[in-house]
Amino acid sequence: MSAEGTFSGGIDLKIDLQARGVRIPDGLRSRVGGAGPADGITIFLDGVPASVPSGAWYACRSPYEIRHSGESWELLLDGVGVCGLDVAGEPEYYREATPDSIPYYKVALRHGRDGIGSTVVQGCAHGDDSCRFCAIAVSAGSGETVPRKSPEDLARVAAAARLEGYSHLVLTTGTTPGEDRGIEPLLRCAAAVKGAADMKMHVQFEPPGDLEYIDRVAEVADSVAINIESFDREVLTVMAPGKAATGLSRYRQAWERSVEALGEGHVTSFIIIGLGESEESVLEGCRLLTSMGVYPFLLPLRPLAGTPLEAWSPPGAEEMKGMYEKAAAIVAGSGLHASTCDSGCVYCGACTAFTDITG
Ligand code: SF4
């Protein structure tokens, strides 16, 4: 970050776009519900992927707009051209379907530059204690996905995506009952994909009751995410009661076991900025994670339609810049880099500018 309080290149612009969203023309597809880049569009600013909100109320009022300009795309701010950009196209595999006539896009969606992602179980055992910011239930009711992905279908889709050059798969899941917390279905899907496509594998899950599940994940995964979402205890209790009930010590054990199995820099935890957490809680969380070899994946809250937070706004760009700067100093001091990771969200970085800063 420079003395003037700006990051270099297009990072400032990416931060501002993720804070304010963007208006998009009819015909550009904005994902509804789901995990990660939900309610958004993926664009490339000087080749850097950015997932930008485009479906939420604040995005519809954004001063930013994407317009077609001849054969290319242009970003405007208050009607004035800012720069050219690329828009992530729909993969060819979206046109294919499984033997049961499930369109491939309902099994796995494009993520960022060269990833695909799938939510294996589209439901959450936390029920009333589920995360207030999560749109898994919205996706389940949208008709845009299937409630449970089969290993066979995921293997088919991954093989087709690999032929198009997609290099990594993000497998996540709603939490399931039982001590595996959803890891068993993830493992079945991961194993099927490994047998069908030469793809890097990133798996996201909650701390399981038995840590040996993590060793099994490490046999098929190249990286993992165990996302606590917030280190502010009061905020976590309100925003993610199920995770708060699991408790920080259980997360610490899971992160530790994952680093033992996969190595430093290949384990991450999301830290969402904008839930009302204290700054010190974020920085304390970064210190804890980096001391364990876990990359702290800071990202702005993306309030999603259909969730309890749908009327909220993302944090402002200045708030995000300040947080990124302080957290990046902690990451730099630890020797961790986003570029260490070859799969998943840390490798992709479309949903945050933090990975661009800590590259
Ligand atoms: S950062 Fe993660 S959730 Fe976001 S687009 Fe990339 S892989 Fe998907």
pLDDT in tens, 93-127: 999 999 999 999 999 999 999 999 999 999 899 99
For 267-304, b/e burial (b = at least 16 CB within 10 A) is: bbbbbbbbbebeeebbbebbbbbbebbbbbbbbbbbbb
- Indicate whether residue 140 lines ligand 1 (CB < 6 A): no
pLDDT for position 9: 65
pLDDT for position 2: 47
Tell how many helices (H) and how many strands (E) occur in the chain. 13, 12
- Model pLDDT for residues 222-280, shown as the tens digit of each residue: 999 999 999 999 999 999 999 999 999 999 999 999 999 999 999 999 999 999 999 99
Query: Strand pairing partners for 119?
Result: 172
Q: What is the value of pTM for the model shown?
A: 0.95
- Indicate whether residue 37 lines ligand 1 (CB < 6 A): yes
Amino acid at 356: D
The CATH fold assigned to 93-357 is TIM Barrel (3.20.20)
- Indicate whether residue 223 lines ligand 1 (CB < 6 A): no
Which residue of 110, 348, 356 sits with most ligand 1 atoms within 8 Å of its CB, as the best mutation to test the pocket?
348
Q: Identify which of 61, 76, 88 has the alpha carbon closest to the alpha carbon of residue 13.
A: 76
- Rounded to the nearest whole angstrom, what is the distance from the C-alpha of residue 44 to the centroid of ligand 1? 14
- Indicate whether residue 50 lines ligand 1 (CB < 6 A): no
- Indicate whether residue 115 lines ligand 1 (CB < 6 A): yes
- Rounded to the nearest whole angstrom, what is the distance from the C-alpha of residue 51 to the centroid of ligand 1? 8
pLDDT for position 3: 44
Specify the residue with its C-alpha closest to ligand 1, atom 3.
36
pLDDT for position 171: 97
Specify the residue with its C-alpha closest to ligand 1, atom 8.
111
What whole-number distance in Å separates Cα of residue 249 and Cα of residue 261? 18
For the CA atoms of the chain, what is the radius of gyration?
Answer: 19
pLDDT for position 31: 56
**Tens-level pLDDT at each residue, the chain (359 residues):** 544 456 776 899 999 999 999 999 987 866 555 556 688 999 999 999 999 999 999 999 999 999 998 889 999 999 999 999 999 999 999 999 999 999 999 999 999 999 999 999 998 999 999 999 998 888 877 788 999 999 999 999 999 999 999 999 999 999 999 999 999 999 999 999 999 999 999 999 999 999 999 999 999 999 999 999 999 999 999 999 999 999 999 999 999 999 999 999 999 999 999 999 999 999 999 999 999 999 999 999 999 999 999 999 999 999 999 999 999 999 999 999 999 999 999 999 999 999 999 99
- Rounded to the nearest whole angstrom, what is the distance from the C-alpha of residue 53 to the centroid of ligand 1? 13
- Indicate whether residue 300 lines ligand 1 (CB < 6 A): no
Gap between the terminal Cα atoms of the chain: 13
What whole-number distance in Å separates Cα of residue 152 and Cα of residue 322? 45
- Indicate whether residue 350 lines ligand 1 (CB < 6 A): yes
pLDDT for position 5: 58
- Judge residue 195's burial from the number of C-beta atoms within 10 Å of its C-beta, 0-12 exposed, 13-18 middle, 19 or more buried: exposed
Which residue of 51, 114, 168, 358 sits with most ligand 1 atoms within 8 Å of its CB, as the best mutation to test the pocket?
51
- Indicate whether residue 112 lines ligand 1 (CB < 6 A): yes
Residues 229 and 276 sit within 8 Å (Cβ to Cβ): no
Which residue of 30, 111, 272, 304 sits with most ligand 1 atoms within 8 Å of its CB, as the best mutation to test the pocket?
111
- Rounded to the nearest whole angstrom, what is the distance from the C-alpha of residue 3 to the centroid of ligand 1? 30
Amino acid at 269: S
Residues 8 and 46 sit within 8 Å (Cβ to Cβ): no
- Rounded to the nearest whole angstrom, what is the distance from the C-alpha of residue 347 to the centroid of ligand 1? 9
